[in-house]
Structure 1
Amino acid sequence: MNRSFLIAQLSDLHLKADHKLTYGVVDTTGALRRAVDQLNASHPRPDIVVISGDLVDFGRPDEYAVLRSELERLHMPCYLVPGNHDIREHLQAAFTDHAYLPTSTGAPLDWVVEQHPVRLIGLDTTIPDAHGGRVLDSQLRWLDEQLALRPDVPTLLILHHPPFISGIGHMDREPFINALALERVIARHPQVERLLCGHLHRSMQRRFGGSLSCVCPGTSHQIVLDLQPTAPAHFNLEPPGYLLHRWDAQALTTHNVVVGEYPGPYPFYDAHGLID
């Protein structure tokens, strides 16, 4: 029997430099450190890690230096896409040894990784100096061509912005540009198993182009689940988490994992049967 292949997805790290707290409240570096420790100690351990954007808070070189230091602690390869808090050029400069990242400046950081049981495609949905996401027509043509090259290989598309309306008022004020065109491309390529997204700081799923768009919770703070059109921009300190995607050569199963230590495990049964 072939061993399953495990992909851990982290998102929305929002790292700062000099041990500063994000929004004056959240120790995002400590939160990432705990997530890395948990991944490294997992049995079985994930084979790779993908991180779906907002890697740092302001896109500064000193923030990427902190990110690099923390990610070097991982015992497995990791792959990065930018989010709206990132700056492409500074990300590229900090991770020049990540050979999958494009080296051209100013262009979207789109990439393909072929060497795993599932194919990975990173899609840069950022708009410089903007909160919302988009894909350019040129990116859609590139994506369509890439997917057409290997139609029989299960593929994960990693992007920061979910290409749909979440229902959380303040997160929907800048909707995804070109979402319908992206959905049409995905619908032409049924080997796309998941669109792995971030940005919304909550676990969320939606069918998209015959596939499934999966949003990862943040490693630190979570967006308040307020489904009113007037929902204000608030976050809270719910337990952080990540997604674990298990490929078993037939299908992909996604698990929502909470970071941290909690009471348990407790048995359902003892030597005499079910525990009352």
Structure 2
Amino acid sequence: MRGSAFPLFVGLSFAQAWLSYPRLARPALAVPGDTIQVFFKASGPTTPLYIDLLSEFGNISLLHDDPRAQDTLYSVRAFIPSAAGHGLYALAISLPAGTDTQPNAVMIYPGWRDTVSFLQFTDIHIGNSDRESRNYARAVQEANLVYPDFVIITGDIVEKGQVDDSPDWYREFLEISSALRVPCFVVSGNHDWYNWMYIGNEETNYLRLVNPYADYSFSYGSLLHMLCLDTGPDNIYWDFDSYCYGFRPDQLAFIEEELSRNRGFPLLFAMMHGPVIDRDDNDDSNTHGVEEFIRCAETYGLDMAIAGHTHEDRLFLSDGTWVQGQLPDPLPDQPLFIQTVTTCKADSGSAGYRFLMGDASGILAFTEGGSADLSLRLYNIDAAYYYNNDSTACAILITNLNGRTFYDGRAWPRMKPGPQYEVAGPGYLVRQAPSGLCEVAVDSIVPGTTVLYVGPVGLSEEAELMPPGLMQRGSRLWAFPGEGLYACLELYDPAGRLVEKPFCGAWERPMGFDLSHLAGGIYIAVLRTKSGILTAKKLFVIE
């Protein structure tokens, strides 16, 4: 049954070991000292059992109690050490019959924050063309830079879920998703039910490969609770419009029980593919359970229902009002129903995703520029990494074309293993993996350009200036990009903001520049051409 606490194992077989929960599309969220529940399927003995968390930054072996049979699964409690490092981990279980590893299955936060932020991706449509895979990979990169607490993905993972190519498309989705550095929660859409005729009557490939739980929920500490709902296949009409089925009676019972039990959360959300409410002149709303869902939303204080499907940015109130243009202030005290543009099945100017944020007082952000009709656009934020020859130094150039400032973002330079690194600019080094991967916190990603510099602690000055090169001698900076090269020398302050451009033009020889007029502190010098940054260096200016 949809809405059951257990996964749907339609068409699934298990020869060795298989993790049901947590997994990439339904991860566990925890803080050090927490206990997580692990569900798995196994053939043969369930002991000895080993449970490990795996990460490039370090692995953790988890203590656990004995497995117990529960319905069609085994369940076991695993204990997160109080000294566990934060980050996103793969989860591996090892049994006599075999092993299974799920990437991105467990997120350990340093602690639960008072403010939570997340992104909504929707309508991915892997398999429609190469564009969708390319756009989704880009969305993953942008999520890693913005670094929300988690991502939700509201359906239509592939173009057709029940054709011969569908398993490969789902595997491609999972492979791209595994590059995320934040957890993601996934529900299916009507396309995940489709056969070759774009008619849907089952979603076995999605359930087998992505997420065996059609309906479920999760919490972020005691601040946020999210219902994750499957709105089913198309409810076919003679005109073949894409009206998602909506909610069956068993789902409505699950929804009411979840909302009633969790109404004490300051933030109460539901995510789904098909919208509950849509506009009158082109109505693509769900066809079953709409009135019952709205009644539950109003009765138990649902803050927002988040949907995709229409490939449009739209906002509705629970009374059916379509809010367009500038948001009213304050918003009416009703549940909100939003839809978001496709993240992938459109060109870069139209594809996008939604940024949402809230705290104990309520929802703080869910639109851009105060407009009910606007979310973020894909390809509007980017981080470029410029390494020196041996990857012991890296200039990070972050470009943000959005009107929003993102706080506490992340950059991920992959440095040469060995040296201990430090950061100059508006950020700091969070941690460094033995492989050289560095997690760099970015205090604020403002509209425009932000520059950071990563280099070894206590780096000595170069003996000679070789192009492209930068060298500081006391209060003088020497620069030389190369003979005959047109380049600009730029100086950035500790906040990553441009201070001045001492020179732009063609270089014939090394040139020296006086720094004595600058206020004392740390600066970043950058040599840049039209094609990008050539090199960068941290400077120390003493007044």
Q: Distance in 2 between matches of 1:79 and 1:266?
A: 31
- Percent identical among aligned pairs is 21
Are 1:159 and 2:272 an aligned pair?
Answer: yes
1:238 Cα deviation after fit: 3.9
Q: In 2, distance between residues paired with 1:221 and 1:215?
A: 15
Q: Secondary structure at the match of 2:366?
A: strand
Under a length normalisation based on structure 2, what TM-score does the superposition of the two structures give?
A: 0.40
Residue number in structure 2 paired with 1:229: none
Answering whether residue 334 of structure 2 is matched by residue 215 of structure 1, we say no
Instruction: Return 5+ residue gaps in structure 2 as ranges.
Output: 1-112, 194-202, 237-241, 320-333, 368-374, 382-399, 402-446, 450-497, 500-543
Q: Which runs of 5+ in 1 are unaligned?
A: 103-108, 223-235, 272-276
Change (3 A) 1:237 1:38: closer
Distance 2:299 2:172 in 1: 40
TM-score, reference length from structure 1: 0.76
Structure 1 segment 9-158 matched on structure 2, within 5 A = 9-16=120-127, 21=129, 27-42=131-146, 45-59=147-161, 60-87=166-193, 88-95=203-210, 101-102=212-213, 109-116=214-221, 117-127=223-233, 130=236, 131-133=242-244, 134-153=246-265, 154-158=267-271
| Aligned counterparts of 1:58 and 1:76: Cα–Cα separation in 2 | 27
Question: Does the aligned pair in 1 maintain the 2:317–2:335 contact within 8 Å?
Answer: yes
Q: Structure 2 vs 1, CA of residues 137 and 167 (structure 1 numbering), >3 Å: closer, same or farther?
A: same
Q: Could you tell me whether the CA contact under 8 Å between 1:161 and 1:176 is conserved in 2?
A: no
Residue 259 and residue 148 in structure 1: after superposition, are their counterparts in 2 closer, same or farther (change >3 A)?
same
* CA distance, structure 1, for counterparts of residue 286 and residue 263 of structure 2: 30
Higher-helix-fraction structure: 1
Equivalenced residues, count: 234
Counterpart of 2:360, as a letter, is A
d(CA) in 1 for partners of 2:125 and 2:280? Answer: 23
Contact kept? 1:158, 1:196, Cα under 8 Å:
yes
- Listed one character per residue, the Cα deviations across residues 46-96 of structure 1 (whole Å, up to 9, x for unaligned) are 110000111111111111011100111110111111100013321121136
More strand by share: 2
More moved, 69-78 vs 116-125: 116-125
Shift of 1:197: 0.2
Q: What amino acid is aligned across from residue 6 of structure 1 in structure 2?
A: S
The CA deviation string for residues 115-143 of structure 1, in whole angstroms up to 9 with x for no partner, is 44311111111136853221112211111
Q: Secondary structure at the match of 2:253?
A: helix
The 5 Å alignment of 1:242-261 reads 242-252=353-363, 253-255=365-367, 256-261=375-380
Runs of 4+ in 1 over 6 A off after TM superposition: none
Residues 165, 12 of structure 1: alpha-carbon distance in 2 compared, 3 angstrom cutoff: same
> CA 1:39–1:187 in structure 2 vs 1: closer, same or farther (change >3 Å)?
same
Q: Which amino acid aligns with 1:240?
A: A
Which has the bigger relative contact order, CA under 8 A and spacing at least 6?
1
| Aligned match for 1:179, one of 290, 294, 304 | 290
